[in-house]
Structure 1
Amino acid sequence: MARNRKATFGPELPVPEQDRAVADLLEAVRHRLGMDVVWLARAEGDLMVVEALDGDGESFGVSVGARMHHAATAYPRVISGELPALVRDVRGHDAVRRLPAVKALRSGAYVSATVFERDGAFYGVLTAVAHDPCPDLQERDVRFLRLAAEMIADSVSDLPRMWERRRAYWDRINAVIDAGGPDMVYQPIADLRPGGRVVGVEALARFPPYAELAGAGPGERPAGFASPAQAGGDRTGSGGSCGSGNGTQTETERWFACAAAVGLGVELEFAAVRAALAELGRLPPGVFLSVNVSPNSVRPGLVDLIGEVEPSRLLLEITEHNQLEAESEALRVIGEVRARGVRIGADDVGSGYAGLAQFLVLRPDLVKMDRFLTHGIDSDPARQVIARALIQVADEIGATMLAEGIETPEELATVRAARVRLGQGNYIAPPDRLSSAPKPGRRGPRQAARWPESDASPPNSSDNGP
């Protein structure tokens, strides 16, 4: 039986985020008919692709995106009347029982109705299935299902366009990964104490323009996507919403968000980490490499990915750490890589209560003060008070403080005066490729961002003082 399922249901395909109205309707249909599962499937050649589902699809081996081979050729026989639209007991219908899809599903009963687009074109089917025979099913249940199919018509008329857009995202993101991408740039992290050497770099991913991913202008929000659970910044890996958002989302954020929306978020984050690690050997001795991953990507595969590098030169920066749970697999993996000598950083601390609460669970070695606090800190006493409080917390847990987003000499002077140990931002040095060392800028403080002349240990203590 398992062999039949493998032949009938191919690898899952990415499908559009199911319409909320469709989801609610499928739930109502399933309860009304008393069936185990209801799904909407779209015809594509010799396949039926499951677009939306409600109920225990797992017990039938069906999930959203599942491909049913040969099922598309069986439904015209239902439309013509050769096969019944309602079967109370599959065992009593030889023609139905021999269908490959029915055999793979091991269904005991089903009700089916065809779905047409607004222009009358055949779209697919709405099917309700039960494991056991359902002798109480009536012909009026077929009419009820057909009524539901008519109600779905408005929603499914937009699904083909959404499907094509989503598949284009899938193909373009895969092409970046297969080509060894994304491209990486590196922003120096400077010691803010006298001497000001570069002690580390943060790896940042760069992609082609967003329009090349979306097939639309950067101001257009792609259809068919809901915001994924993760959200983050312009780093090694990040999230956000797949679209233009509120206008502040970067090109990199859009690529990572859309990768998450089509199920390639972890793969793209791993690809970015892999590309960054490949450059570690080009860094001077004593300069550490910071790579960013979201909690969703902190899984056993990450341990294997970083297993070949010198752990003392690697900082694993956890974005969206507010999503970490005390007993999660992510924290277990973080404990494993930390035991190997990799240091752990908490990104964007101070951007919200959840971030402050959860970073205590993470117990980071490096605390990155959110750029929201750094921006304008020289003229805002409230920001200065919060910064001093964060430094005290970092001292108490033995962590090093880093201020990101330093854009002016006044911000640099203020975070120095607050005893912040490390700094990062365009005023110190902008992101660049590793083809050359950071060059001193025209403004004095940027001259502090220079490579060390000899081996220097990366910061691993709570020495936040001047």
Structure 2
Amino acid sequence: MPSERSWTFGPILDVPAPDRTIADLLEAVRLRLRMDAAWLARAEDDLLVIEALDGDGESFGVIPGATLRGAASYFALVLAGECPDIIRDVHAQMPAETLPAGGELRAGAYAAVPVFERDGSFYGVLAALSHTPRPDLQARDGRFLRLVAEVVTDSVSDLHRVWERRTAFWDRVSEVIDSGGPTMVFQPIVDLGDDGRIVGVEALARFPSDVTETAGTDEPDVRADAAVREGPRTDGDAPAGVSAAARAATMTVRDCSTGRQELGEVDVSEPEQWFAGAAAVGLGTELELAAVRAALANLPFLPPDVFMSVNVSPGTVGSELVELLQDVEPSRLLLEITEHTRIKEDSEVFRTLAELRARGVRIGADDVGSGYAGLSRFLALRPDLVKMDHYLTHGIDADPARRAVANALIQVADEIGASVLAEGIETEAELTTLRATRVQLGQGNHIARPAALPLNPRRAPRDP
């Protein structure tokens, strides 16, 4: 269903060259003037639209893409030269209402100069802010700001093209959300014990194939794309010791499609780029929630003893997610926390996870073993499921060091009562080694590729 969305246009993954130049210049301004934040804003009617920002903009209540109202009178002052470049003490030198959203910015000191395009037309404002008054700022700091503004002129003309690409991507993400997307496929999670039965599935989002050009990046998500790019595997190709149910799940997505979950010829198209790009244009949380909603709609297609794992970043863990999960049987859900950011134990994210866990929702930690961030997140979450990073899984059969790390993770997981899931299993040798290492659960293309539901092990042929 369409909804009101805010416009936020931060950099998307492969940052265009004009953006990199502007980002470097804004950092130089902030450091040289010793301010808390610096930004470039585009003038649009009575608005200033923050196009690029460096520093702690959130403490002033602004982020890339935010708009500041009441700017028309301020533009007139800037263009007429009646507004000084350097305002050492906002409250003492000029009324707060003179500045765009001045009363809301909570700025103690303010520095700003106009920015023009190559043809001499007014583009916007280059500004820097401090929370506290800055009596030490000098006139030459204003001249430095004007020097930077002249350099920025060489880049802002190219920003129109960047802006158009970002608005197009914003529209594309909105279309996916409003149409009930993204499309979801599900990769089986199997018990690596003797029966090899499916115990769960991970919900994975799939998107239309035009994101790369729209989002302005040429970097493919090889890992995500490989999940369905390969051809179908026959039962004879299935790994030994994996149930017929899991083998049945290896059919292609197109063969597995149902009326509810019609995927057809849609490509995988770099899901991680879609989510990262959506976050950059202010739709990250909404897209993640849409993916969770689409995944949960398929829960009835799973047997009651098979759980569903859904992925969310810490920024999505909040009241909207709690409301979305309100009517879901908690024992059937695993909430997998992605993104390599530290979660503080006194944060709202941590409190929300504690609330969900108290209801019976299990929590999983993604990519444990991939570095310090993964380990710190593991220690903070105390997860019910530990997902062993694919970097550890790949080649574990031939690398004693990987096996040693896996054994250590298993020991720690045992101590906290968690299960270990090895992702990215691609070969029979890896599968055999993981079994010998006592990893309880496994997931990967060698076992079963992602596919649409239903993947009902009770309907699948049994092993002879």
Confirm whether residue 391 of structure 1 aligns to residue 410 of structure 2.
yes
Query: What are the equivalent positions in structure 2 for 1:15-26 lying under 5 Å apart?
Result: 15-17=9-11, 19-26=22-29
Confirm whether residue 27 of structure 1 aligns to residue 30 of structure 2.
yes
CA distance in 2, matches of 1:125, 1:188: 53
| Match among 8, 25, 47 for residue 14 of structure 1 | 8
Confirm whether residue 118 of structure 1 aligns to residue 137 of structure 2.
no
CA distance in 1, matches of 2:341, 2:58: 31
Partner of 2:278: 259
Are the aligned partners of 1:39 and 1:54 in contact in 2 as well (CA < 8 Å)? yes
CA distance 1:166–1:387, change in 2 (3 Å): same
Confirm whether residue 198 of structure 1 aligns to residue 201 of structure 2.
no
Are the aligned partners of 1:314 and 1:343 in contact in 2 as well (CA < 8 Å)? yes
Partner of 1:427: 446
CA drift of 1:339 comes to 0.9
Confirm whether residue 105 of structure 1 aligns to residue 102 of structure 2.
yes
Partner of 1:301: 320
2:181 partner letter = G
Matched position secondary structure for 2:309:
strand
1:75 partner letter = F
Matched position secondary structure for 2:367:
strand
CA distance in 1, matches of 2:56, 2:371: 38
Are the aligned partners of 2:215 and 2:277 in contact in 1 as well (CA < 8 Å)? no
CA distance in 2, matches of 1:373, 1:138: 55
CA distance in 1, matches of 2:73, 2:113: 15
Matched position secondary structure for 1:157:
helix
Q: Which runs of 5+ in 2 are unaligned?
A: 12-18, 226-267
CA distance 1:191–1:160, change in 2 (3 Å): same
CA drift of 1:145 comes to 5.3
CA distance in 2, matches of 1:16, 1:58: 13
CA drift of 1:85 comes to 4.1
Identity of aligned residues (%): 59
CA drift of 1:309 comes to 0.4
Matched position secondary structure for 1:153:
helix
2:177 partner letter = I
CA distance in 2, matches of 1:420, 1:105: 58
Query: What are the equivalent positions in structure 2 for 1:336-415 lying under 5 Å apart?
Result: 336-415=355-434
Are the aligned partners of 2:91 and 2:108 in contact in 1 as well (CA < 8 Å)? yes
CA distance in 2, matches of 1:314, 1:132: 48
Matched position secondary structure for 1:123:
strand
Q: Deviations over 1:401-430 (max 9, x none)?
A: 222222222222222222222221222211
Are the aligned partners of 2:39 and 2:127 in contact in 1 as well (CA < 8 Å)? yes
2:276 partner letter = A
2:175 partner letter = A
CA distance in 1, matches of 2:398, 2:36: 62
Partner of 1:84: 82
State how many pairs are aligned: 405
Q: Deviations over 1:206-230 (max 9, x none)?
A: 1112x33542786269xxxxxxxxx
CA distance 1:146–1:370, change in 2 (3 Å): closer
CA drift of 1:112 comes to 5.9
CA distance in 2, matches of 1:356, 1:108: 40
Partner of 1:48: 48
Partner of 2:152: 152
Are the aligned partners of 1:47 and 1:70 in contact in 2 as well (CA < 8 Å)? yes
1:413 partner letter = T
1:311 partner letter = P
Are the aligned partners of 2:8 and 2:280 in contact in 1 as well (CA < 8 Å)? no
Are the aligned partners of 1:61 and 1:105 in contact in 2 as well (CA < 8 Å)? no
Matched position secondary structure for 1:430:
coil
Matched position secondary structure for 2:391:
helix
1:378 partner letter = D
CA distance 1:148–1:340, change in 2 (3 Å): same
CA distance 1:200–1:47, change in 2 (3 Å): same
CA distance 1:105–1:434, change in 2 (3 Å): same
Matched position secondary structure for 1:167:
helix
CA distance 1:213–1:335, change in 2 (3 Å): same
Query: What are the equivalent positions in structure 2 for 1:266-277 lying under 5 Å apart?
Result: 266-277=285-296
1:179 partner letter = S
Partner of 2:237: none
CA distance 1:439–1:213, change in 2 (3 Å): farther
CA drift of 1:200 comes to 1.0
CA distance in 1, matches of 2:335, 2:369: 19
Q: Which runs of 5+ in 1 are unaligned?
A: 1-10, 222-230, 236-248, 451-466
CA distance in 1, matches of 2:172, 2:365: 31
CA drift of 1:312 comes to 0.8
1:409 partner letter = E
Matched position secondary structure for 1:215:
helix
Confirm whether residue 212 of structure 1 aligns to residue 185 of structure 2.
no
CA distance 1:141–1:180, change in 2 (3 Å): same
Are the aligned partners of 1:46 and 1:70 in contact in 2 as well (CA < 8 Å)? yes
1:23 partner letter = L
CA drift of 1:59 comes to 8.9
Q: What is the TM-score when the length of structure 2 is the normalising length?
A: 0.71
Highest CA radius of gyration, 1 or 2?
1
CA distance in 2, matches of 1:366, 1:75: 55
2:357 partner letter = R
CA distance in 1, matches of 2:442, 2:273: 26
Are the aligned partners of 1:29 and 1:145 in contact in 2 as well (CA < 8 Å)? no
Matched position secondary structure for 2:430:
helix
